[in-house]
Amino acid sequence: MQTTTSPRAPGKRPSGEPRLSWSRAWHNNHLRGWIYQAGVLISVIALGAYLIGNAQQSLSQQGISTGFGFLTGSAGFEIGEKLIEYGSSDSFLRAYGVALLNTLKVAVASIVLATVLGVVAGLGRLSRNLLVQRISSVYIEVFRNTPQLVQLIFWYTIITRLPGPRQAISIDDWAFLSNRGLSIPWWVNDAAPWLLLLSILAAIALLLPALRWAYRRRKLTGRAQPLAYAAALAFAALPLLILGLFGPSHDISVPALKGLNFRGGLTVSPEFLALMLGLSLYIGAFIAEIVRTGVLSISAGQIEAAQSVGLRPFNIYRRVVFPQALRVMVPPAAGQYVSIVKNSSLGVAVGYPELFNVTNTIVTLSGHTVEAIAIMMSIYLGISFAIALIMNIYNHHVQIKER
């Protein structure tokens, strides 16, 4: 005898059927990966909370105060090099801000210089010109295989042994290099550089969509769009135009020798120069090898095909080699950029007031060792995460999308 079952109403499940299949959910690799990561994160936080609590209890038993309330107290020490106003009567928190800005200043300058040096040396090592190839190879092998601290002290010694301001090395009477540092022309009003930076960022924001539109039109029509050249010209002219119209000052101060030192302009300290050279030259050698590896990852057949259609070497690298090599170069380059930020702590060897150097002073004066070191570690960790995030976004942007 055949039995029939009544149709199940939509949205209802039989009484014996479980509401959630935990076995099926557990075998979902994506969900299980999130569970593992959450478990590790919770474990790390719990371990950190236990260690901090244990340290605070031990310090309290010895009569040592704990907590972050010391940040609002008067620092009581000066910082020789700073981007914002700071005095000995300011708080420890402001001292951390000065140290952070000093670290970012030397890190950004070193990243830019290391990238330029790395690209030039990496391509130079692949050059058919024997002299260029040998010079690039010597630079890479010497700077990559020498301890970074030794290089840093070497450059600091060289700079401090330069002639004094009266016998300074002149660069067309506009810039002067001496044992007091590098003196260069600069705006009279401090707000002008920031306005110039903002105008450059605005020009980039307008330039990129225009170039992208021109590139798409070229792919469709096969002809170069005049808009690309107009956008490039606007990118070069817009910052200067905005600075000229809305800038707080049009005057540029040129350094001049007055007494025993240069007055006017901007003087870059020997400590900053030594640290920047030590970081950028060392990391630049590693970036050069990254660039060389990325270029060699492109098959020779693609380069020969580009040459067969009449592309010049510059266009071959710009349109064929680098768009594909970037997916190989960006991840290891991001690691080198993070190393620049972390290795900036070597500035303590030459007296540059970066984060690690200032933290040592704060520890000595405040007595809050655990809190000061925790703040320093958090700042370094935050900067590293920010660099990794930016490079991941850029890496996702340059990845070749398969259709």
CB 395 within 8 A of CB 327: yes
With a cut of 70, say whether residue 16 has pLDDT above it.
no
343 within a domain of the structure (yes/no): yes
- 180/105 same-domain check: yes
Task: Quickly state the pLDDT bin for 11 (edges 50, 70, 90).
Answer: very low
Strands of 266-268's sheet, edge to edge? 169-171, 175-178, 181-184, 266-268
288 within a domain of the structure (yes/no): yes
End position of a domain, from candidates 253, 284, 309 = 253
- 233/263 same-domain check: no
Q: CB atoms < 10 A from the CB of 163, how many?
A: 11
With a cut of 60, say whether residue 250 has pLDDT above it.
no
Full residue range of the structural domain in which residue 246 is found: 186-253
- 266/377 same-domain check: yes
With a cut of 60, say whether residue 15 has pLDDT above it.
no
Q: In this structure, which amino acid lies at residue 180?
A: R
160 within a domain of the structure (yes/no): yes
29 within a domain of the structure (yes/no): no
Determine the average pLDDT of the residues in 328-344: 91
User: Tell me: the pLDDT tens digits for 363-379?
Assistant: 988 888 888 888 999 99
- 98/241 same-domain check: no
- 265/358 same-domain check: yes
pLDDT at res. 145:
92
351 within a domain of the structure (yes/no): yes
pLDDT at res. 1:
46
pLDDT at res. 393:
81
Lowest mean pLDDT among 37-41, 89-93, 281-285, 308-312: 308-312
Mean pLDDT of the chain: 81
End position of a domain, from candidates 253, 283, 307 = 253
246 within a domain of the structure (yes/no): yes
* Closest listed residue to residue 263, CA positions, set 340, 185, 179: 185
With a cut of 70, say whether residue 382 has pLDDT above it.
yes
6 within a domain of the structure (yes/no): no
- 289/391 same-domain check: yes
- 259/378 same-domain check: yes
How many structural domains are present in the chain?
A: 3
pLDDT at res. 108:
92
What phi and psi, each to the nearest 5 degrees, are found at residue 175? -130, 150
Lowest mean pLDDT among 83-92, 160-169, 302-311: 302-311
Contacts (Cβ under 8 Å, ≥6 apart) of 312: none
End position of a domain, from candidates 232, 253, 274 = 253
With a cut of 50, say whether residue 101 has pLDDT above it.
yes
- 221/332 same-domain check: no
Task: Quickly state the pLDDT bin for 230 (edges 50, 70, 90).
Answer: low
- 225/155 same-domain check: no
Q: In this structure, which amino acid lies at residue 393?
A: I
pLDDT at res. 21:
58
User: Tell me: the pLDDT tens digits for 264-302?
Assistant: 777 888 999 999 999 999 999 999 999 999 888 888 888
- 196/328 same-domain check: no
- 265/351 same-domain check: yes
- 305/368 same-domain check: yes
282 within a domain of the structure (yes/no): yes
- SS3 letters across the chain: CCCCCCCCCCCCCCCCCCCCCHHHHHCCHHHHHHHHHHHHHHHHHHHHHHHHHHHHHHHHHCCCCCCCHHHHCECCCCCCCCCCCCCCCCEHHHHHHHHHHHHHHHHHHHHHHHHHHHHHHHHHHCCCCHHHHHHHHHHHHHHHCCCHHHHHHHHHHHHHCCCCHHHCEEECCCEEEECCEEEECEECCCHHHHHHHHHHHHHHHHHHHHHHHHHHHHHHHCCCCHHHHHHHHHHHHHHHHHHHHHCCCCCEECCEEECCEEECCEEECHHHHHHHHHHHHHHHHHHHHHHHHHHHCCCHHHHHHHHHCCCCHHHHHHHHHHHHHHHHHHHHHHHHHHHHHHHHHHHHHCCCCCHHHHHHHHHHHHCCHHHHHHHHHHHHHHHHHHHHHHHHHHHHHHCCCCC
